[in-house]
Homo-oligomer: A and B are copies of this chain.
Amino acid sequence: MVRPGELAAAAPVFAALGDETRLGIVTRLCVAGPLSIAWLTAGGGVTRQAVTKHLHMLAQASLANRSQIGRERIWELEPRALLSARECLSQISAQWDEALARLRLFVEPLRPQDG
């Protein structure tokens, strides 16, 4: 069962993942581990400021958090929100399977020859 509270919690995570640049940052943090802003800026086609904004949005969605080493800000992934988002998708698709099964139970007796 999906409770409404879970949806309200999952929506911001999906929104944070719903930008191509941000999804690239997430993937990169995932593959390469914790990185500084300058390093994250190097690969993508956007400014350092844009990367900074995206990182803050990821932090607001509990998808990343930062630490400081000297003058560098090191950002790393926070996988819990990612896992809960995956959980949400799994629940939705599970409910869809359920609904499909119910639909079959409802439809098939009406057309027993079409099988």
Contacts and interface: CB of A to CB of B under 8 A. Distances in A.
Nearest to A4: B24
Contacts of A79: 93, 96
Interface residues of A, number: 38
- Number of chain copies forming the complex: 2
Interface stretch (A47-55, A65-73, A80-88): A80-88
Nearest to A86: B89
Interface string A77-115: 101001101100110110110010011000000000000
A11 interface: yes
A12 B18 contact: yes
A26 B23 CA distance: 22
A92 to B, nearest CB: 5
